[in-house]
Structure 1
Amino acid sequence: MVAYRRIDRLPDDSEEARMWLFGVARRVLANHRRGAVRRATIRLSYVDEPDKYSEVREAIEALPANQRELVQLVHWDGFSLREAAGIAGVSESTARGRYERARKRLHDSLRPAADAPVARLVPSGDAMAQPE
């Protein structure tokens, strides 16, 4: 509805329009998250199957919001870091700094046993983890 009401602001270029729509969606979701935190009444719980990715999700959720958003835009939504910066409304250099801090935090919080290969985030394509 927000995008429809602001359709006159939609860029003509299809790639810019896509990024604009993600920006609109980002702000709508941010408003929703703030409301959910204020209400603080609903908690999701996963039962039955053990979740092999819960540790990664928890580590990502523990990141500051501005770092978490960049990681999600790059690795879940498939945007380049430059595109994610545009969607987040920050400069490319600011996005790079936030992304690098997020990578370090995730590396530190997900550090495996000393002899296991270390997974690291790579901001290219759809590859999320590559052994070091």
Structure 2
Amino acid sequence: MFVHCCHCRWCQRETGSAFVINAILEADRVELLAGTPEVIDTPSNSGRGQKIARCPTCKVAVWSTYSMPMFRFVRVGTLDDPDIAPPDVHIFTMSKQQWFELPPSSLAFVEYYDSSKVWPAESLERRAAALAKAPST
């Protein structure tokens, strides 16, 4: 659907890196190839927390879910071919590492953004379909 390169301090701390690249996908389109992920409740900057799913074998974080569990934020670096998912947008650039230079053509936001104004139509349609299938709370 859409790929974030997040530069927030929380993602920096969780990954031990300058940023994380997450592909936001419908949960029913994501599967772990072997085993059952170990899910860890983790605090988040929003205060609502997140659930980080880790590979049962190597313990690497493979995806997170936030307040809408019908979407998974898949760690692009864990894909067999991470080159298929370059960032569509850089977010929380206010806290990016000073040495990191954003590519000149990149779409970047100081904090977050309004997905209805940024995501392509196909991604918005997929998002709406996933939300429509979700059980009411």
Give the shorter-chain TM-score range. Answer: under 0.3
TM-score w.r.t. the length of structure 2 is: 0.26
- Quick check: which one's strand share is greater? 2
Larger radius of gyration: 1
- Quick check: which one's helix share is greater? 1
